[in-house]
Chain A
Amino acid sequence: MTTPLQVTARLRDPVTTADHIRGPADASVTIVEYGDFQCQFCGAAYPNLHEVLRQRADTVRLVYRYFPIANVHPYAERAAETAEAAAVRGRFWEMHDWLYEHQDQLDPVHLSLGVEQVGLPPDELNAEVESRAHADRVRRDFVGGIRSGVNGTPTLFVNGVRHEGGYDLADLLAAVDAAGNA
């Protein structure tokens, strides 16, 4: 029996100004992360990605796209839509960081406190999230991820190629440096 060749998955949706981007616009390396705020593996990768951005501040930028696995993570969609409501107000990364730093507090009550800590009006954001005002945007990221072969979270694309390695700092730095020197 032969094993079929594994095709390297590639990012199909190019990065645009509609994306949430952290790092220099002219970065030579772009990491696109498909993530779920309630996913513990994403939570574990979060500080490492942060450190990569710090250590390679001139060469790396990070793009974050929503990929909530709602059937196993009941708070993931709400967290994503809350992040998008924050994004509309120019506070995406503050909310993103809060969510990953408080993964055990994503229930609606604690999430409201988080919104307040980020400096945004909880009632206003709650109302938007309740009315699913940002559901389409989250869905768009999710579907784009599926089309690019995202099969779980986190999935990273480094300069458009799916990262098949681990999420330790050393693995991530190696992937970024390889892409930067390619």
Chain B
Amino acid sequence: MSDPNGLIQPGRPAPGFTLPATPDGDPIGPEQFRGRPVVLAFYPADWSPVCGDQMSLYQSAAPVFAQYKAVVLGLSVDSIWSHRAFAESRGIEFPLLADFEPKGEVARRYGAYNAQGEADRALVVLDPAGKVTWSHRSPPDVNPGADGIFDALDQLAADRKVMAG
């Protein structure tokens, strides 16, 4: 079951974790990107049409993410081998993390695990200090696009400017 409190909300510290990730299977987690915004894109399954479109969109938007120095990490309960084939078929170069064993543990900790045994289609943006700054859950058949992510990244950049000023 999903976290009864639902998807993790802004203001909460992001639970730490590492998971095996494409391309080489080395473990990756948000902590190693402290100092940069991190986008966690939970999705139900490699190869499903909506997920394919969503992850492709984030890949094609890579230059925009780069402007924010933001890191994008895709997460589903698929194995690293499925992730690798999926990434190759779609030209996806950002890491896809395998929340495979124990299955869905990271998704559960973020309140993004469902009764079907998959991750929800959920987006979580972490600020450079590792705190949740924005989160959003879509119905499984709805590609959430990237506008909410970029609004959150804009807000982070604006906040930092105020702090610096």
Closest residue of chain B to A76, judged by CB? B60
Question: A149 vs B6: C-alpha distance in the bound complex, in angstroms?
Answer: 24
B145 touches A151 (CB 8 A): yes
A-B contact pairs, 11 of them (CB 8 A): A4-B136, A4-B137, A69-B57, A70-B91, A71-B91, A72-B90, A143-B64, A146-B147, A147-B150, A148-B147, A149-B147
Question: A1 vs B139: C-alpha distance in the bound complex, in angstroms?
Answer: 11
Question: A69 vs B136: C-alpha distance in the bound complex, in angstroms?
Answer: 24
A71 touches B63 (CB 8 A): no
Q: How many of chain A's residues touch chain B, expressed as a range?
A: 20 to 34
Closest residue of chain B to A7, judged by CB? B148
- CB proximity of B115 to chain A, nearest CB, Å: 8
Closest residue of chain A to B55, judged by CB? A71
- Does B59 sit within 8 A of A, measured CB to CB? yes
A146 touches B145 (CB 8 A): yes
- Does A139 sit within 8 A of B, measured CB to CB? yes
List the 3 closest pairs (A to B, CB-CB), nearest first.
Answer: A71-B91, A151-B145, A151-B143
> Which residues on the A side are within 8 Å of B144 (C-beta)?
151
| Inter-chain pairs besides A69-B57, A147-B150, 15 sampled, C-beta below 8 Å | A4-B136, A6-B142, A9-B145, A9-B147, A71-B91, A71-B93, A72-B90, A146-B61, A146-B145, A146-B146, A151-B53, A151-B144, A151-B146, A152-B53, A152-B57
A71 touches B90 (CB 8 A): yes
A151 touches B57 (CB 8 A): yes
Closest residue of chain B to A153, judged by CB? B53
> Which residues on the B side are within 8 Å of A70 (C-beta)?
60, 91
- CB proximity of B154 to chain A, nearest CB, Å: 9
Q: How many of chain B's residues touch chain A, expressed as a range?
A: 20 to 34
- Does A8 sit within 8 A of B, measured CB to CB? no
A150 touches B60 (CB 8 A): no
B56 touches A71 (CB 8 A): yes
> Which residues on the B side are within 8 Å of A72 (C-beta)?
56, 90-91
- Does B54 sit within 8 A of A, measured CB to CB? yes
Residue with the greatest number of chain B CB neighbours at <10 A, chosen from A69, A149, A151 = A151
Question: A69 vs B92: C-alpha distance in the bound complex, in angstroms?
Answer: 11
Question: A70 vs B54: C-alpha distance in the bound complex, in angstroms?
Answer: 14
Question: A71 vs B114: C-alpha distance in the bound complex, in angstroms?
Answer: 30
- CB proximity of A32 to chain B, nearest CB, Å: 15
- Does B2 sit within 8 A of A, measured CB to CB? yes
Question: A70 vs B64: C-alpha distance in the bound complex, in angstroms?
Answer: 14
> Which residues on the A side are within 8 Å of B56 (C-beta)?
69, 71-72
> Which residues on the A side are within 8 Å of B6 (C-beta)?
1
> Which residues on the B side are within 8 Å of A160 (C-beta)?
none
Could you give, for residues 145-159 of chain B, a 1 whenever the CB lies within 8 Å of some chain A CB and a 0 otherwise? 111001000000000
Q: Which residues in chain A, 114-138, are within 8 Å of chain B measured between CB atoms?
A: none
> Which residues on the A side are within 8 Å of B54 (C-beta)?
151
- Does A3 sit within 8 A of B, measured CB to CB? yes
